Amino acid sequence: MTGRESADREFRAAVSELFTKREDPYAGADLRNARRMMALTLIIGVIVGLLLLLLSIPARGLEAPVLVLHLAFLALSIAGAYWLLAGERVGFRHLWLLNAALIPLLALLVWQSGGTHSAFNQAYLLALIPAAGIHPARRALPLLGLIGLAIFSPLIYEPYSYDRLLLLLSHALPWYALSTAFLILMSYVRHQRIVSGENEAQARRLARIDELTGLGNRRAFEEALELELARLERAGSTLSLLLLDVDRFKEINDTWGHPAGDECLRQVAVALAEAARATDACYRWGGDEFAVILRETDAAGAQRLRDRVRAIVAASCQAPDGRPIRVSCGIAQAVDSDRQKLIERADVDLFRDKTEPMRAEERDGPRDGATTDCGHGARGG
């Protein structure tokens, strides 16, 4: 697919986003920038309003109703801009309500300052821009409709004429064309942010998954262990760790090659996931070593899981020559939030399990006096 075709497809997706009903209608929107846009619009409105008031004095004089409404508009705009820039809890709903509050005030100001021929008719553009630029279509359309009613309200309180209608249309049509383009553009921007966020989340997930086994990798293990130890420190929960490596794994690689060794690791990963409980989290720590974080589990519970893991691996995993694959396991219960000490204690128990005489006989069996073992595999990420 060419770059132009990709851009066209993304633009069509953004247009369809206008009519997509999302649980969060503001997905992909940037609240901080939206607040800045609304505040900037209000500040520009204050400046433009003052200029229009000064320009209208020679023609109409300084009428009290116009002055009162104009001061109310200026006060609301200044207070709103300050609130948006200094407030901490301003959300999209507040922006929508502020935008809606300005519209009837503008309509009253237009009514008192000349109706169809009022210079303040141009100020409706300042309400259209944030309505189309900040809010998604479902939230923007009510605002755009309310602004449209305000623009054509002179037809209600002034004598109807076709010329008056054409004048109002000449104002409204270009403004709404611009607003529609702005609405589509901002929908495209929000769609791009949604896609970018999904891609980043997918990349973060993939960066923490071991490609060979589908389990979490070393990075994911260390991050998860840090979180669980912090929870233990904070809430006084129980946590244990199980480390596992495959017995005689180097012999499998040396005899049948690395593809056979990879297949053995995949089998062990499947068996480990089957043995683990719903609350446990399994990881490939590196090489032929695996780790399981056992939440809400004491040493006795960890021992029961160790026995279960051994049994399931031996029953379901086979080396290329058909003999059962055996694993050695080390367990340790966390006593504090020191990650390194917990891993070292589990590693010591793993070495003890590997060299224990009954386990050595179970693992090696009568194999012409062969007693060599792979030891620990290289720990990679």
Q: What percent of the chain has pLDDT over 70?
A: 88
pLDDT above 90: residue 244: yes
3-state helix vs strand vs coil in the chain, percent to 5 = 70, 10, 25
pLDDT above 70: residue 380: no
Q: Which of 137, 189, 140, 150 is nearest to 28 (CA)?
A: 189
- The per-residue pLDDT for 192 is 82
165 SS3 class: helix
Residue 124: is it exposed, middle or buried by C-beta count within 10 angstroms (0-12/13-18/19+)? buried
pLDDT category at 370 given cuts 50, 70, 90 is very low
pLDDT above 80: residue 130: yes
Could you state, in order of their start, the residue ranges of all structural domains in the chain? 3-203, 218-364
Q: What pLDDT, in 10s, does the model give residues 159-179?
A: 999 999 999 999 899 999 999
Mean pLDDT on 263-287: 94
Amino acid present at 180: T
pLDDT above 80: residue 245: yes
Q: What pLDDT, in 10s, does the model give residues 294-342?
A: 999 999 999 999 999 999 999 999 999 999 999 999 999 999 989 999 9
Give the other-Cβ count within 10 Å of 312's Cβ.
Answer: 19
- The per-residue pLDDT for 119 is 81
The DSSP call for residue 366 is S
For domain 218-364, the CATH architecture is: 2-Layer Sandwich (3.30)
pLDDT above 90: residue 241: yes
pLDDT category at 51 given cuts 50, 70, 90 is confident
Mean pLDDT of the chain: 86
- The per-residue pLDDT for 379 is 43
First to last CA, the chain: 34
pLDDT above 60: residue 367: no
Confidence (pTM): 0.58
